[in-house]
Amino acid sequence: MRFVAQDWVISWGLLFLVSCTTYSSTALGEPENNIKTSVFLTPKFELGPGSVANKIYFDVDFPRGHIALKSFNAEVVDEAGKSVSLQETYLHHWIVVKYHQPKNVSHNNNQTDVFTMRNSGLCQEDVLGQYFGLGSETRGTTTDIPDPFGIEIGNPSEIEYGYEEKWLINVHAIDTRGVEDRMGCTECRCDLYNVTKDENGNPLNPYYKGGLDCCPDNSQCRLEKSFKGSKKNLYLRYTVKWINWDNYVVPLKIYILDVTDVLNVSKGMSPNHTCKIEYEVEPCSKGYNSSSCIDVKKTSLPMERGGYVIYGVGHQHSGAVASTLYRQDGGVICSSIPKYGNGNEAGNEKGYVVGMSTCYPKPGNIRIKDGETLSLEVSYSNSEMHTGVMGLFYILVAEQLPHQHYL
């Protein structure tokens, strides 16, 4: 998801830290390496009925040192630490980004010598460069990385002299209490927010019906007349699991594929990705049975470097049907299916995507070749219009298998 540091007011106060139960994990005959767990809160953000928070918090608490990340989970909670229902506060997305900053220098909005350290691709520049990120499905989506694999961070040899590794979190949440159109507010439909300019002050395209540009920080979705409601303080609570780095850990690379990505190839120039992050689903023609109204979007993208797929999951919004990643020969790498809630409690909210199925191929079973072209297919129900939908796919790839790594 996009962010521009200078457009944000940064909050520095650390409000909460719980550390840390540990338990042991042993894999493939390796020495015992205790998994450590820490739970943190971001600084608070305040929401009133229909309001939006799209915050970036720099220098958040995060495990330090040369370690291997094993899991990252997050959810919105209130001041009592209670899980907040999507029916009250819709979690549009959260993302976690690594960056390097000069030592002994506090971040400020105009600082130019802070460098974001993106994942392995595929999008252009810093677009979709996060290490982790989900949305409404976060409570019901597994993120645990199996042994002996891990995401390496804090390697001193990869941090430029005079710099240190830090992390930021972007949280985008929408309060839907008392709004006229709950689905419309969560899909950021422009007519409900009365937003006419983007975050840089440029007029919106008149054909742009909804998406991230129409629900920026501090914007307001239209309420029902006479609705009254109080403001509340909320937090993103995030749980990180990791182990100390050693020679037995097999490193993973993070790739995010975007179904809106169109690869432009010009003679004599490097291929240029054009990930747009979000798109609009037009309603199907009148007279169709709603069950047959399915919008399917596809893209094909080459992987410069391949490896063995260890984990896969899609990210979609309400209305989602499925997202599937295919090999060049048409074989399925991973199909990620949304789970919809059917109740009122947090984690089972009716009508919302509350989880995405994940794939854990047996290591060695699915190998992507260097230069292989993958295809991503994303489907949504289009019995009605949807704005600002996403079709992302995360995969974790090991360039070597464990026995190769140990040699």
For residue 337, the model assigns a pLDDT of 98
For residue 135, the model assigns a pLDDT of 98
What does the mean pLDDT of the chain come to?
A: 90
Q: Which amino acid is it at 224? A: E
pLDDT tens digits, one per residue of 224-248 = 998 989 999 999 999 999 999 999 9
d(CA 303, CA 393): 14
Are 45 and 77 within 8 A, CB to CB? no
pLDDT tens digits, one per residue of 211-220 = 999 999 999 9
d(CA 124, CA 206): 26
For residue 404, the model assigns a pLDDT of 72
pLDDT tens digits, one per residue of 367-404 = 999 999 999 999 999 999 999 999 999 999 999 999 77
For residue 11, the model assigns a pLDDT of 31
For residue 21, the model assigns a pLDDT of 37
For residue 31, the model assigns a pLDDT of 47
For residue 14, the model assigns a pLDDT of 31
d(CA 150, CA 158): 17
For residue 94, the model assigns a pLDDT of 98
| Low-confidence residues in the chain, pLDDT < 70 | 1-32, 107-112, 268, 286-291, 406-407
